[in-house]
Amino acid sequence: MNIPKRYPLLLMVVLSLPSVRALAQIPPDFKMVNASVSQAGELVILPSKTSSTHDFDFLAGDWAMDNKRLKARLSNNTTWLEYKSTSQNYGSILNGLGNMDFYRTNFNAAGDKPYEGLTLRLFNPQTRLWSLYWVDSNLGVLDPPVVGSFEGAVGTFYCKDVFQGKPILVMFQWDKTDPNNPVWAQAFSPDNGRTWEMNMTNVSHRQK
């Protein structure tokens, strides 16, 4: 039910949502959790001690979502655009090693058809790490996964990517402190994790 890093520019409406607005900026001293970049430039990700196949069980069910997106990324932009969506999560699959949901919204700048996305989350019993994969109805191609685990109620997941021709780190963060209103966020780092800019976030509200 997260939104992909390559999600197209959308026609959006502005909402008033304090719980989302509070997440507008990641503190400048934000640090990577259970992850680092080696001297050779490799992204090293370790599981938390409590990493479990049950980490995403809280997502099972139907959700209404309030989404927020930075108008422009890594350009000192401070304008946030907001819109609504829904998600249907099927809960645990593959005997506990997976989790899957469908994301839907009517806003899609790439065409007249509604936009849909699918998230597949897979748990590796050997590494005890989750890999989160995204595919959408515009491209039909799986993005490289973000990988990580939960430390308590907060999960962090990372990958290396390229934005506007420059290498970046991508981070997804899930906060399930309130399992009926979990918060997802995405941030980019242009300097191997020393600084981060949040550019997308959403709050999900359980429907059933």
Taking the whole predicted model, whether its pTM rises above 0.75 is answered as yes
Looking at residue 80, its amino acid is: W
What is the per-residue pLDDT for 97? 97
For CA atoms 21, 26, 190, 76, the dihedral sign is positive
CA distance 145 to 94: 18
In the chain, the percentage of residues whose pLDDT exceeds 70 is: 83
What is the per-residue pLDDT for 4? 52
Query: E strands along the chain, which residues?
Result: 35-37, 43-45, 61-70, 80-93, 98-105, 115-124, 129-136, 146-151, 154-163, 166-175, 183-189, 197-206
Question: What would the mean pLDDT of 18-31 be, rounded to a whole number?
Answer: 47
Looking at the predicted structure, is the pLDDT value of residue 94 above 70? yes
* Half-sphere exposure at residue 194, Cβ-oriented, CA atoms within 13 angstroms: 4
> Over the stretch 44-73, which tens digit does the pLDDT of each residue have?
999 999 999 999 999 999 999 999 888 899
Question: What would the mean pLDDT of 180-203 be, rounded to a whole number?
Answer: 93
Would you say 150 and 128 are in contact if contact means Cβ atoms under 8 Å apart? no
Q: What angle do CA 104, 105, 107 make, to 5 degrees?
A: 150
Fold classification of 18-23+33-206 (topology level): Lipocalin (2.40.128)
What is the per-residue pLDDT for 109? 55
Report DSSP state, residue 9.
P
